[in-house]
Structure 1
Amino acid sequence: MSGSTFESKVDQFFGYSARGSSFGTEVRAGLTTFATMAYILPVNMAILSQAGLDGGAVFMATALSAVLGTVLMALLARLPFALAPGMGLNAFFAFTVVLGMGKTPAFALAAVFTEGVVFIFLSLTGVRTALFNAIPKEIKQAVSAGIGLFIMFIGLQNCGFIVADKATLVAINPHLNSAAVALAIIGIGLTIVLYLRRVKGALLLGILGTWGLGMLAQAAGWYVVNPQAGHFSLFPGGVFSAPPSLAPTFGLFLNGFAEAFASGANFGQFLLVIMTFLYVDIFDTLGTLSGVATKANMLDKNGNLPGITGALSADAIATVAGAMLGTSTVTTFVESSAGVEEGGRTGLTAIVTAVCFFLAIFMFPVVGAIPAFATTCALFMVGIMMFEPLKDLEFNNPECLIPAVITVAFMVMGYSISAGLMWGVLAFILVKVAVGKPKEITPLIWSLGVIFLLKLFVLDTMA
């Protein structure tokens, strides 16, 4: 089969030409998405290892669940979004459920599995699609900008530019001449120049270029390897390696059900953990899909996302599979916006990302060597670009402005996409009631308001 015939058949299936993309653009976008979220492989392994799970098995479970979820996203929804075990949810798994509540990793995995089953039901019955469509337009616009600031903040934290401070909670690192921080700043500048010069693959080139500069800095002795400080060697310790065994975590979730039903107290805690996983995953996913799809102009004239049912089903099935393999909740990654910014518009972008995750199983020495300061440049630029949908926000209308600003602010200050969405919806309800327009609040939004209040005053107080 010739190259042109192959591309034609792929285009016929995914329809990237109709969405203003191309085969090369989709491939480049998929590589960019992977480069910005590859950190989840070593990071998830490190976090869940602290909960007592075998590190090698967690690495395998993370990679395989990312492959499965992302392929399902490509085939069921044909959208350019990638999935993997989510940050925040993995921390709740390890530090709250296992280390905080004293439960076993199997107990936590059983909760994740059950949550995923509930997710599948909600997705197939259209409940999650209805939730997505019910989100007001101004909040969808704000979610995009909020996600932009959120991932920019995460990127600057990861490279050490933003640090903790006792007086102000956070501050700019006073030691900007440290290698990792300085290289991140140089990488951001390089990426901005490439982007403004309209160089194709600017984000991916920024990551690779910054990584390359880091290797030169290590060779020159400026960047000093210090694992205790989180500064690992930037040179891969090889290219290929045998994948670790999945046996220590595969099917471990089954043991958790016996623990969950051992007593009434255990069962009550089991339900609480399930509800927490469910809440965060639902609204993180809805927020991510809304924000990234809005940025990519994928929403129809009614503000709905074609393929949303397939996307939510992929998320749910991947969560169930991830629990069976031995990892925390799988969710749609906000870093997908990096690939979207590179021009990715269809499931072909997701397929490329999934292939990269599969290859990473055998190339961990290379993937593990990509430093956080190198991916900061991409996250920073994507953060800026995610503000574009705000151009359509009615800034002179307080009814739109108040919920939108609260959504953006609380997403960053609450360090959570779901938190921004929650407070934005509550603000929307308050505003409409205050101006005497309660009829503009749909029954589903009222229901969301009740759910959010229960979460704040019941679920949170029980945790």
Structure 2
Amino acid sequence: MEQLKSYFLQNTTLKTEIIAGITTFLTMVYIAFINPAILHDAGMDQGAVFTATCLITAFACLLTGIIANTPIGIAPGMALNVFFSYTVVKGMGIQWEHALAIVFLSGVLFIFVSLTSLRRLLIEAIPYNLQIAILIGISLLIALITLKNNQIIVTDPHHLMHLGAMNRPESGLFFLGFLLILTLDYFQIPGAIIIGILSITTLSLLTGLSTWEGLMAMPPSIMPTFLKLDFSGLNTILAMKAMFTFFLIAVFDATGTLIGLLNPTLFKQQKNYAKRLSNCLTADAVASAMAGLLGSASTSPYIESAAGIEAGGRGGLTAIIIGIGFILMLFFSPLAKMIPNFAVGPALLYVACCMMKHLTDMKLPDISETAPCMVTIMMIPFTASIADGIGGGIILYTLLKLLTRQKINFLLFILSFVFIIFFLIS
């Protein structure tokens, strides 16, 4: 008992860790509603994905808490589930069973890289400005998909896109939900996203736009997605491109988020800081591979973990509490079923806004830095492909640095060559 106490309660107390865990859980529980809605667009069973989401999040958080002893919540990533549904399945025409196999293989690759020095080499190879540009491009893609799915912007034969009908009650509730979440976030109220989703769902029920499905029930069967991954269709260039992109997003997203969350002096001064950071990445990699087996997109550390850290969370017990929260969440599947698109949409748009905040981190001294970032940011939403945006940015960055005789990492030449092959063949 004393050993457990000394391991989990370094520089903290049991009460503080429990409060921190509940705080982070409330800020990220929205993924239990949003991930099934997004993957349902790829043709997957929404109930099964709900169960898979809760299970994989619980597994990831428990694993992180135990082996890394860090207060980090890990769940299916927002950028990764959007890439899964709208780029890989809908854009590339890859069946979701094959996409799950791609998720699994990219997770296995991530495990290998996280256990070797390759992770450090890869992270150092991609310029920081391009990493930020990828994040900004993804935020614009999330915003575009959200607005189209909620008919805020629409297309027709005469226009590339234009504003939809603003007099629809669904549009009004969408904007009300977005405004509510933004206001709650401004005043730093924990659980702003889930409060916004549930508030709009309640209004939707009261106005007859949604029907009551109940509050609690036994978890939906996971069998429609469990072990449904299919490796038979992965010998195409599109499948390899998708796997490579899943892997790149997972590595950069996880590393950047963890360094940002665990970088403060209070963590760096703690015992085994580097080992805890490395173990957290390994836990995320293992969870990503597991996601493919259960029926979800790859996982990622959640920036919402900052809420729990702010509440005093310093160790793995915070992550364990988050995991327990998602196990309990399994019994609230009827709630997930009756949440309409226009209640989920504001949360997605808010996430896009949060990602956009990183724009100020970019440092653009000359055109050789500015142009590749601009191409990356433009290509991701304009082509509806994160992979194409990353590839376009890396190729242009490498060529410009080569032509202007500037120093460049040798791995960028390899990545550029790979993406050129992808573009020419696909």
Q: State the TM bucket, normalised to the shorter chain.
A: 0.7 to 0.9
- 1:52-201 aligned at under 5 Å gives the runs 57=48, 59-76=50-67, 78=70, 79-83=72-76, 86-90=81-85, 105=97, 113-173=104-164, 175-201=165-191
The corresponding residue for 2:270 is none
After superposition, the Cα gap between the structure-2 partners of 1:357 and 1:139, relative to the gap in structure 1 and judged at 3 Å, is: same
Corresponding position: 1:281 with 2:246: yes
Matched with 2:205 is: 215
Distance 1:147 1:95 in 2: 16
- The one-character-per-residue Cα deviations of 1:430-451 (angstroms, maximum 9, x if unpaired) are 22123221xx211122221122
Change over 3 Å in CA distance of 1:68–1:196 after alignment to 2: closer
The residue type paired with residue 367 of structure 1 is A
Q: What does the per-residue CA deviation read over 1:184-236, in whole Å, with 9 as the maximum and x for residues that have no partner?
A: 11122233333444545444433333333333333xxxxx3xxxxxxx43x3x
Matched, 1:400 2:369: yes
The answer as to whether partners of 2:87 and 2:384 remain within 8 angstroms in 1 is no
Residue 368 (1) aligns with residue 368 (2): no
Name stretches of at least 5 consecutive residues in structure 2 with no aligned partner.
266-272
CA RMSD of aligned residues (A): 4.2
State the shift of 1:88 in Å: 3.6
Relative distance call for 1:150 and 1:274 in structure 2 (3 A) is: closer
Q: Which residue of the partner structure matches residue 263 of structure 1?
A: none
Q: Secondary structure at the match of 1:12?
A: coil
Amino acid at match of 2:300: T
What is residue 330 of structure 1 aligned with on the other side? 298
Out of 421, 433, 437, which is 2:402 matched to?
433
Distance 1:317 1:382 in 2: 25
- What letter is aligned with 2:121? A
Q: Under a length normalisation based on structure 2, what TM-score does the superposition of the two structures give?
A: 0.76
Paired residue for 2:328? 359
**8 Å CA contact 1:241, 1:362 repeated in 2:** yes
Measured after TM superposition, the shift of residue 282 of structure 1 is 0.8
Q: Determine if contact 2:106/2:246 at 8 Å carries over to the other structure.
A: no
Q: Give the partner amino acid of 1:194.
A: L
Report how far residue 408 of structure 1 moved: 1.9
| Contact 2:56-2:287 within 8 A present in 1 as well | yes
Secondary structure at 1:238 match in 2: coil
Partner Cα separation in structure 2 for residue 348 and residue 197 of structure 1:
27
Q: Deviations over 1:382-437 (max 9, x none)?
A: 43333333324334532322222222222222334443332222222122123221
> Under a length normalisation based on structure 1, what TM-score does the superposition of the two structures give?
0.71
Where 1:38 maps in the other structure, the secondary structure is helix
The whole-number CA distance in structure 1 between the counterparts of 2:53 and 2:193 is: 24
Rounded Cα–Cα distance in structure 1 between residues aligned with 2:409 and 2:391: 16
Shift of 1:276: 3.8
1:76 and 1:65 map into 2 onto residues whose CA distance is: 16
Identity percentage of aligned residues = 26
Change (3 A) 1:161 1:68: same
Distance, in Å, in 2 between the alignment partners of 1:178 and 1:83 is 32
**Contact 1:57/1:246 (8 A) holds in 2:** yes
Counterpart residue type for residue 41 of structure 1: P
Residue 385 (structure 1) aligned with residue 375 (structure 2): no
Asked whether 1:35 is paired with 2:30, we answer: yes
Check whether the contact 1:29–1:342 (CA below 8 A) recurs between aligned residues.
yes
Q: 1:74 to 1:44 in 2, by over 3 A?
A: farther
Asked if structure 2 preserves the Cα contact closer than 8 Å seen for 1:188 and 1:380, the reply is yes
Per mean C-alpha deviation after superposition, the further-off stretch among 388-397 and 129-138 is 388-397
Q: Please name the residue that 1:12 is paired with.
A: 10
Rounded Cα–Cα distance in structure 1 between residues aligned with 2:99 and 2:135: 31
**Alignment length (residue pairs):** 409
- Work out the CA distance in 1 between the residues paired with 2:228 and 2:361: 49
Structure 2: distance between partners of 1:448 and 1:366: 44
Aligned to 1:228: none
- The structure-2 alpha-carbon separation of the partners of 1:420 and 1:71, relative to structure 1 and needing over 3 Å to count, comes to farther
Is 2:414 the partner of 1:447?
Answer: yes
Q: Secondary structure at the match of 2:154?
A: strand
Structure 1 residue 58: Cα displacement:
5.2
Q: Does the 8 Å CA contact 1:144/1:294 hold for their aligned counterparts?
A: no
Contact 1:143 1:408 in 2 (8 A): yes
How far, CA to CA, are the matches of 2:352 and 2:149 in structure 1?
Answer: 15
Matched, 1:409 2:378: yes
Kept in 1: contact 2:33–2:50 (CA 8 A): no
Q: For 1:343 and 1:153, how far apart are their aligned partners in 2? A: 32
**How big is the shift at 1:359?**
2.6
Quickly say closer, same or farther: Cα 1:75–1:179, change in 2 above 3 A.
Answer: farther
Deviation at 1:33, TM superposition (A): 1.8
What are the ranges of 5 or more consecutive residues in structure 1 without an aligned counterpart? Answer: 219-223, 225-231, 261-265
* SS class of match (2:215): coil
